[in-house]
Each structure stands twice: as C-alpha cells, then as structure tokens.
Structure 1
C-alpha cells in the first residue's frame, strides 16, 4: 500500500495528496467506513436550474465527512507511536466526533475541547463516543489554545485540525465523487479550516479533471474569502454564524496556499440563505443538512447566474447533517414563509 504523506516544508500545492495517497487512505478505511452515495434529486434540480449531484457525507457513521480523516490520521499515529495513551483536539463538533470514534478504535483516550455554547447535541455525541469533553473559550481559536496547553500538561498528542493525513482521509469522499461523476462542471464545498476543499482539489488534480471548485464561507465569518482576495492569510473579527462547521476566523496558511492554487473562488452566503437551503434540502431530498452542509446549496442558489452555471452539471458537498433540533426547527420554518 502506498504510504500516506507526511508534512513537507514550505508551501503546499493544490494537490496536497497524490492519487497514490488517496488510494492508500481509501484502502485503510475500507471495511471500516462504507462509501457514501452521490445522488441526483429532481426537486433539487428544479429549484436550482442545474443538474445537481449531492455527495451525501451526512450518511457517514458520525453524520459528517470528518470521520474519514479521523480514521486515516489515528491508525498510522498509533502504529508509529505504540506507547501513546491519549490525544487531545479542539473542535466545534464534527472533527471531535471523528477523533473520539477513531481514538476509541485504536485504543486511545480522547480529550475534546469545545467553545462555550457549542452545539449541545454534537457535545453529547462526542461524549457518547467516549471522549472527555471540556468547554473552554468563546470560539474555536481560544479552544485550540487550551487544547495545546492540555497537550503539554498531560502528555497528550495534539491532533491538528489540518494535516496531510486528514486531507488524505477526507479526500476519499472526493475520490468517490469524481470517479462516479468525472464530468462535473463545478463543485461547491464549505470551508472550515480547509481539509475538505483541499481533499477535493487533490482528488480532482490526481484524476486529471478540470472541474471548477468553489469554496463557501459565511459573509460575516469570511477569513478565507478575505485571504483569497489578498493572496495571504487575513483573519476576520467574528466567528458568529449558525453554521458552526465554517465558523473559523483565522485561516490555516497551508490550506490557504492550496486554495489559492486550486480553487476557482471563495464565495459568501448569509445565515438566512443557509437556513433556507437547509429547509430546501429537506423538502427536496428529505435529508438533514447542518449549516455548513447546506452552505454549498445556498451558494449555488445565490451565485448560479453570475457564475454561468444555469443548466450545468454541479456537485454539492453535503458535508454533514448534525443540526441540533432548535436550528433545524428554524430551518423548517423557512418553508412556511
């Protein structure tokens, strides 16, 4: 089996992971995680005016794409450091569920740090997978700092939110998507810290395709949009959005370097547009999309005409379905207006 990539010095290219690395990751999780479907929904096609293919990462065991990266990170980590006893990470939820499940799979303890006010149902899920959950800080950045301190104090391995092994793992969804549908004109994908879009670009480039890839962020948490425009990391002031999966106000430099090389653009949507897209996704497909998972649909609806995508074949990454009950109730209320 081809070895997974290790971090390299200097700036990353758009193809962080080679085809061999993606296939190695795919082989590693075979039998542990089933491939997720990519489905065309007629009502969604009618609503968007496009031939839409939804990649259903909400069908994963943890309800989100991150579980792929967690498994692919944790298995070689334990192999390389057999005496390691535990790991720690910071998250808004899906990364933490992934790490908790993967750590349990290889026999490690997992400590997860989340900001105060985090999604209560994601918190409950992380505990259910065996993690020790700590609430600290007002946003993801402050939670990371506390997780790093715990790593030093307790001798825990700090699992980053961005790493080539994580990109290789989550990139397996893109390998599935592009193998099934190599003729996509464009794909819309939410950007949190960047592993999802980097895995998507890696798979596209590894397969020699020309699909345009659009990252999606919230217009008030737009660090990656600002950074894409500036060509260098630019933070934003707020992490306030209902879409916790994209509530990142400090971009990762390595992820940004790849995005600058491989993405067509980074687009913004509003919270109201995300709520409406969550409602539409449910009414058209009866799938639950969390805020980040609905952001690609929101972006297609908002930017379709400006991007010349009417009637085109478009992929949407439904990255996760872990919306809590209160938020999903708000999303369904948009269908009544």
Structure 2
C-alpha cells in the first residue's frame, strides 16, 4: 500500500509541489492545543482534490488509452481537479454542477477548459445527469469516490503525517470521503496511533449518521454553506473504511463553520472555504477534551466566494 502511495506522489509532483504544514501559535492560544494545519489551500487549484484528479486520469489512461473525454459531477473542487488533469492529458472534460453552484468555482472550472453544465437542485441530481450524459456521449464517468482518487489524496496525508510526528488527533472534513479514507490509509500504512476524526455539517449529516448507525444512511437534503460537505448519499465503500478506521465523525453548525473561517483569517491570514474550516470548528467544540495535545487540521481548500467571506466577517471581530 505504501508503495502505491509513493507512486501516486511521483505522479502528483510532476504537476505540483508538496504543500506546507504549519504550526500556528494563535490557533494554539485559541484552542488550548498545539495546532498544525495541512495547507491544501496552497495547491495550484486551492484545494486537495487536484491530487486525486491527476492520479485518477493517469491510471485511467494506463488501462483505457482510447478514452477521449471524461465527465464528472461536482460542487467545485473535484470538477476543477478533473478539468486540470484532463487539460494536461489532452482530454475533453465535461463537468455537471447543480443550479446555483458557487459562481467562483464555476468560473474556475471554465477557465481550466471544462464544458460546464448546470443541472438539478443538488449534487445528487447533478451526478445522475452526468451518468446519463456519459452514456449518451461516450464519456468516461469519473466518480466522486474511487481508490485511484484516494491514492492521489493520500499524498497529502503522507506529507502531513511524515512531517509532523506525534499527532494525537487529525480532524478531516468529509465530502464524499476520499480525504478521510486517505488519512486512515496512510495512518495505517505508517503504523501510527493517531486518531482520525471526520467532520460533517449539521445540515448534511449523512456520513455521521452512517458512522453512528453502523450502516449506510442517506438524507433527503444536504443544506449547508459548506458546499464541499453537501452530501446526502454516502459512498458505501467509504462508509466501511470510515467505520473501521475513524475514531469519531462529528457535526458542526454553519455558524461554527463561519466562525472558523473568520479565525483562520485572523489567526493565520488564510482563506478557508466552508469544508476547509470545518475541522477547526470541530476542534474548537472539542477543545476541552484535547487540551494540551498535538493535533492536526486539514485545511482542505480555500475556494470561497466573496459573499460568503463577507458573511463570515460580519460575525464580528475574533475574540
């Protein structure tokens, strides 16, 4: 397994360098912990997903060299990763997003050369339309969760856990599950005892519900400001991996996410999108039980629209 991760890293590093993991004393003061942040907001696309897209499309062409085009459904960062990798490999990329999706993320995907289609009320409806178009147009459907995507994302976890030894706990946001599954896989491959806590939004609790019920649970809606967490139908393979390898899966409110976005800006001068801020929100809620411990936060992305930044800042000056 470690050899596969190292091979994935070699692919990823053809397009980008490793991202930083930084210890922020102001976050220490705020949480009462020794806080290390993995800055996946510093990738070329401003989010961790770029790693998965690069590895997935390289692996795909290795087994299906005749593929001419790919299609994916997304709320933004997965689509950017597929568009980015497809452009490098000379493939057509079609991306389906729900109506009302982030204008900034839509613009970024178009700038990367993607053909953008808006369809449906949420990610699930966009994904169903993407599968229909894949069949109609002969495109390869790139799923939102797949072992190749996890391999790519594992390169970030490998960097983090090797660079910062002795982490008691790492908090990881859960969208469709590649990030937390990668962290679990790397933790196990390195033989570490680090606890891994998944974080979801209160308005999109499907993965938390699935973890605590010990079976796949869906929700009728996924309403949250954190578009990267807006899942209502989990992936069953991801659910199993998380059930076996995570310490807990916790929920945070949109207000807690907005506050964490504000604290990232004030304490580290970094923009965090909602999903990226959710781990800090969870640590703040957990601070009493983690006091004095060395913890890691995955800042999974910083692709946030100005309107949401203003909403976060309007919550008041950080205390």
Match of 1:74 in 2: 57
Deviation digits for residues 203-232 of structure 1 (CA, Å, limit 9, x no counterpart): 100000000000000112100111011111
Q: Secondary structure at the match of 1:101?
A: helix
1:128-277 counterparts in 2 under 5 A?
Answer: 128-277=111-260
Measure, in 2, the Cα distance between the counterparts of 1:304 and 1:263: 18
Give the Cα separation in 2 of the matches to 1:226 and 1:75. Answer: 34
Q: Aligned with 2:161: secondary structure?
A: helix
Size of the alignment, in residue pairs?
Answer: 318
Whole-Å separation in 1 of the counterparts to 2:272 and 2:233: 25
State the superposition RMSD in angstroms.
Answer: 0.9
Aligned to 2:297: 316
Distance in 1 of aligned mates of 2:86 and 2:238: 24
Query: Aligned equivalents of 1:189 and 1:209: distance in 2?
Result: 16
Question: What is the alpha-carbon distance in structure 1 between the residues aligned to residue 210 and residue 280 of structure 2?
Answer: 23
- Kindly state the Cα deviation for residue 31 of structure 1 after the two structures are TM-superposed: 2.8
Contact 1:78 1:106 in 2 (8 A): no
Aligned to 1:5: none
CA distance in 2, matches of 1:293, 1:280: 12
Deviations 1:273-320 (A, max 9, x none): 000000000000000000000000000001222xx2101000000000
Among candidates 97, 102, 117, match of residue 85 of structure 2: 102
Instruction: Name the SS of the counterpart of 2:316 in structure 1.
Output: helix
Cα distance per residue 1:108-148 (max 9 Å; x no partner): 01000000110000000000000000000000110010000
* C-alpha contact 1:182 1:209 (8 A) present in aligned 2: no
Q: How does the TM-score come out when normalised to structure 2?
A: 0.98
For structure 2, list consecutive stretches of 5 or more residues without a partner in the other structure.
none
Match of 1:11 in 2: none
Cα deviation, 1:149-200, whole Å, max 9, x if unaligned, reads 0000000000000000000000100000011112100000000000000000
Q: Select between 271-280 and 235-244 the one with higher mean Cα deviation.
A: 235-244
Following TM superposition, by how much is the alpha carbon of 1:335 offset from its aligned partner in structure 2, in angstroms? 3.3
Structure 1 spans left out of the alignment, 5+ residues: 1-17
Helix, strand or coil for the counterpart of 1:216? strand
With normalisation by structure 1, the TM-score equals: 0.93
Rounded Cα–Cα distance in structure 2 between residues aligned with 1:316 and 1:216: 11
1:7 is aligned to none
